[in-house]
Amino acid sequence: MNHDDVVALFNTWNSALATLDPDTVTALYADNAVLLPTVSNRVRHDHAEIRDYFVGFLQKSPQGVIDESNVNVLSDTHATNSGVYTFTFGDGSTVTARFSYLYVATTDGWKILQHHSSAMPEG
């Protein structure tokens, strides 16, 4: 795993959003993943809760672009990417948010173990 591989994991996730299929997106998360989502106050602790979030979020037709990325390859099995991204929705509205992903290598490939996304506090 190198810097470009970690960035590519975001691109895979963003492409999954474009399918508008919550199962496709949820499959990118580890079984014990935690999601702190952008447009929900509820912490999501498992695939059922993560899927529930994406059912609603995907109805907005989101597509993300990374504005700032800070990658750290921690080991052969863990990597992080944190920074700022902007989502554009189907209605043309946008939200800029801070993000952090912790990725873990599994027998099924690299998965998101922790994902935190929060809208920028200074509008």
* Average pLDDT over all residues of the chain: 96
Q: What are phi and psi of 13, to 5 degrees?
A: -65, -45
> Do residues 115 and 123 lie in contact, with contact meaning Cβ atoms separated by under 8 Å?
no
CATH classification number, 3-119, choose in 1.10.3720.10, 2.40.50.500, 3.10.450.50, 3.30.200.20: 3.10.450.50
pLDDT at 102: 98
pLDDT at 122: 80
How much is the pTM?
0.95
> Do residues 26 and 51 lie in contact, with contact meaning Cβ atoms separated by under 8 Å?
yes
pLDDT at 38: 85
The pLDDT tens digits for 38-87 are 888 999 999 999 999 999 999 999 999 999 999 999 999 999 999 999 99
- For 47-69, letters b (16+ CB in 10 Å) and e give bebbbbbbeebbebebebeeeee
> Three-state SS for 75?
coil
CB atoms closer than 10 angstroms to residue 14: 17
Question: Tokens 């199962």, residue?
Answer: 23
Closest CA to 117 of 73, 79, 85: 85
Domain boundaries, the chain: 3-119
d(CA 114, CA 111): 9
| Average pLDDT estimate for 95-122 | 95
**Does the pLDDT of residue 121 top 90, yes or no?**
no
**Does the pLDDT of residue 123 top 80, yes or no?**
no
